[in-house]
Structure 1
Amino acid sequence: MRMTSIKMKKKLDELFQQEENWRVSFNRDKNTYRVEWKETKQGVTITIPNVIAKYEQRGEAALDELQFHIQESLKMMHEEHQLEGKEKHIFPVIRATSFPKKTKAGTKLVYTEHTAETNIYYALDLGTTYQLIDQKMLEEQGWSVERLKEVSLFNIRSLSAAPKKDTVAGNDFYFVATQDGYDASRILNEAFLEEMRANASGELAVAVPHQDVLILADIQNETGYDILAQMTMKFFAEGRVPITSLPFIYEEKHLEPVFILAKNKPKH
């Protein structure tokens, strides 16, 4: 029997209505479901058709996972987190330039520009999830953006970046996919990129289609560009947190986004 939005709403009510400090609401026009703290009105909005699609694929396990992530997210919104003494838990996260610059409550998120396609945000790792650091948190704790950036880049360099290699049509592709939430962030590990560049036979291309993968490609012939373009687009479409479908050429410590046309070398 087909799952409808109304039936899914009832299932979500069962998951989230029992918590007395939360309020739930259903927007029939937008087909969304919201869970928020009664006191602060901070919360999470869920797109019901997306939940239905996951439910039809994976059944109750999809709802269990959703419940866990919503609970963690709401819990995180309610807690006061300190940066001092948590330096080892601060990491950079790569996001698309279209990613929101403010929290739902209207506080500015801390970010720095990275490329024409990407920005760097900063996260406090909380174990099972992380919280993006906003301006208010930074000011209250007397931190500068420079300090935040320095600490986070030091931490990203400390994470292992052992890629898996795959050779296709004479081109070498390397994948970093540890699922620790910071795979794409490893694009900021300049020492790692320099090492990959030094070992590349051809041109080094780098891609961050979504948060949970970093692709590096040693492009040695024309076909390599086509393969990379198709691969990046596929990962981008499937990613939980998509970033960009455009790969970058890495040259002289600089990342240049490229449009790869079928059967053609990149057009900058």
Structure 2
Amino acid sequence: MDIQEFREKLEKKLEQDNRAFVFDEEKSSLRVEHTGLNKGLDLDLNKLLAKNEKNHEKALEEAAMFINSSLEAMERNIVLGGKEKNIFPVLRSTSFPTETKDGKTLLFSEHTAETRIYYALDLGDAYTMLEKETAEKEGFTQEQIKELALFNVRQLSTSYKSDEVAGNTFYFINSNDGYDASRLLNEPFIEELSSNVEGDTAIAVPHQDVLIVAEIRNDAGYDVLGQMAFRFFNNGRIPITALPFLYENGELEPIFILARKKPQK
């Protein structure tokens, strides 16, 4: 079963009067919206098929069940009490909306000139962005949500793969759980990697499903990182920024990489 057939069968299973579908062919992503709530969920169809490559019918059933239960939960309103361990930070570009389509304010914190931190409730195979109103209704302040999210992201696996190019080492965190870029906010992990670096530490979060930490030992390393970040940014399901950052003393500074010359700090 190819992506197109899978998508058509899934839409047929999910079809109701209050449902709308938006398919991004380039990213193989299907958004299912509850038109009455102006809320929805995004599905990575490639990921769903890969998880059940020998049984696509099972993938259809599981996806339909997940979407239906998630949208029904939204109808009953999002409940945070008792689900504190499922609250995570997610990075987005600063161009990402700060309000929902119906004018409700999303919970977010400023981060860098290129990125912003939003907060989400994990629902299993997807997550929903948290609104300020939802948190306040249940007695959570924004600072409490932030502390919970940062604590939870530090509990996620920090396994990575590495590759050496032109004398520079690149570390890739790519667990595909939706929070790879969020691991940038795991300060002890980033500090530990940086403390072992010989040279400069540079970081890239081109899209939500990858975090790149680079050990830059020569000027060519910046050029490699710049090309790498741009390629990942263009191919990512949810792009964040193609600009890498220089990491120094716990601070992130966006860097513009031109030719093969190390940027000035």
Question: Shorter-chain TM-score: which interval?
Answer: 0.7 to 0.9
Query: Displacement of 1:149 after TM fit?
Result: 0.8
Partner of 2:209: 212
Residue 221 of structure 2 is aligned to residue 199 of structure 1: no
Which TM-score applies when normalising by structure 1?
0.79
Partner residue of 1:231 out of 228, 233, 242: 228
Alignment of 1:1-268 (within 5 A): 14=12, 16-17=14-15, 19=16, 21-24=17-20, 36-37=33-34, 40-43=36-39, 71=68, 74-75=71-72, 77-267=74-264
Aligned in 2, Cα 1:23/1:250: closer, same or farther, shift over 3 Å? closer
The one-letter code sitting in structure 2 at the alignment partner of 1:149 is K
Q: In 2, distance between residues paired with 1:117 and 1:72? A: 35
Aligned in 2, Cα 1:75/1:224: closer, same or farther, shift over 3 Å? farther
Partner of 1:57: none
Structure 1 spans left out of the alignment, 5+ residues: 1-8, 27-32, 52-60
Which TM-score applies when normalising by structure 2?
0.80
Compute the RMSD of aligned alpha carbons: 3.4
Partner SS for 1:193: helix
Q: In 2, distance between residues paired with 1:112 and 1:149? A: 8
Query: Displacement of 1:262 after TM fit?
Result: 1.4
- Name the structure, 1 or 2, with higher relative contact order (CA <8 Å, separation 6+): 2
Aligned in 2, Cα 1:122/1:45: closer, same or farther, shift over 3 Å? closer
Partner SS for 2:79: coil
Query: Displacement of 1:81 after TM fit?
Result: 2.2
Aligned in 2, Cα 1:109/1:25: closer, same or farther, shift over 3 Å? closer
Q: In 2, distance between residues paired with 1:164 and 1:35? A: 33
- Identity among equivalent pairs (%): 50
Query: How many residues are treated as equivalent by the alignment?
Result: 246
